[in-house]
Amino acid sequence: MRVAFTFPGQGSQSVGMGKDLADAFPQAAQVFAEVDDALGEKLSATIWDGPEETLTLTANAQPALMAVSIAAIRVMEARGLRLADHVAFVAGHSLGEYSALCAAGTFSLADTARLLRIRGNAMQAAVPVGKGAMAAIIGLEHGDVVQICADAASLGSCQIANDNGGGQIVVSGEKDAVEKAAALASEKGAKRALLLPVSAPFHSSLMAPAADAMRDALAGVTKHNPVVPLIANVRAAAVIDAGEIADLLVEQVTGQVRWRETIEWFVANDVTTLYEIGAGKVLTGLARRIDKSVSGVTINTPADIESALATLLA
């Protein structure tokens, strides 16, 4: 009977997220103030008041989602939660990996905010607009999509970006190749194969310039071993060495987010409950589709925190 904390990725953001936490708890308000100071701007105003198109920009959405997650964590810590005592593992989906590492003490809050701002800008700048694309393929097995990417590669780079489980796989790469992959997936019997409204081909080889930027950025920040192991996106296995984690975060920029395998790893290692810390409930839904034996709990409101603490601290 073990517990893991998971942290959401891009796409979970919404205008107003975290405002009820900041209004209810001074520890949450302090997190948003620290992120604002670290970035030298009032990101909190964009998070709470919009406009939505500004919040959705990659360079804003990434630190914004992290801020909401850590606001919840800081409130829980103030009420007696200690990650090392109550949680066995942490994991995060793409940018959520940084939230997980901030929660587990690898990076300071200010450094995490700055790293995610660098990451967002670097990912956006890595590929000219219109050159890359991403597509969601629903209803095919992982091996089928690997073959589809290989077949589409005659038109350019194409690879699996996210294996989200439950028959949901996202491919990423050059636009012509991704469009070809979507067409091939439909021919193979996919339930759906649709291009995603994203601004860049994340988690593909085209992101190599962003990986270089993150290697430099990560080299310049203080890192500590996390207080509980991280289940790393690109490895779907536990890691606790800070230097190794930094290398994997660089690899993650161009590599596959192996979320299905991450949930399967949790199940194999006696994790029975996954708490999704932060905005939305995407990861809870994915976990339910991957393995119904796992219990999923979302924590993003004051009431959620009260309920979770009653269980975790019992």
In the prediction, which pLDDT does 279 show? Answer: 97
Instruction: State what percent of residues in the chain have pLDDT above 70.
Output: 100
- Count helices and strands (H / E) in the chain: 15, 10
pLDDT, tens digit, 9 for 90 and up, residues 40-59 = 999 999 999 999 999 999 99
What's the burial of 187, exposed, middle or buried (CB within 10 Å: 0-12/13-18/19+)?
A: exposed
CB atoms within 10 A of CB 26: 11
CB atoms within 10 A of CB 289: 14
CA nearest neighbour of 141 among 189, 204, 194, 93: 189
Query: Catalytic residue among 94, 99, 172, 204, which?
Result: 94
In the prediction, which pLDDT does 198 show? Answer: 86
Fold of 132-198: Alpha-Beta Plaits (3.30.70)
Q: Is 86 a catalytic residue?
A: no
Are 63 and 117 within 8 A, CB to CB?
yes
- Residue with the bigger pLDDT between 222 and 314: it is 222
HEC-encoded secondary structure of 88-102: CEEEECCCHHHHHHH
What's the burial of 61, exposed, middle or buried (CB within 10 Å: 0-12/13-18/19+)?
A: buried
CATH 3.30.413.10 fits 2-126+206-312, yes or no: no
Average pLDDT in the chain:
97
Are 166 and 289 within 8 A, CB to CB?
yes
CA nearest neighbour of 100 among 238, 195, 207: 238
**Domain range annotation of the chain:** 2-126+206-312, 132-198
pTM of structure: 0.97
pLDDT, tens digit, 9 for 90 and up, residues 200-247 = 999 999 999 999 999 999 999 999 999 999 999 999 999 999 999 999
Q: Is 307 a catalytic residue?
A: no
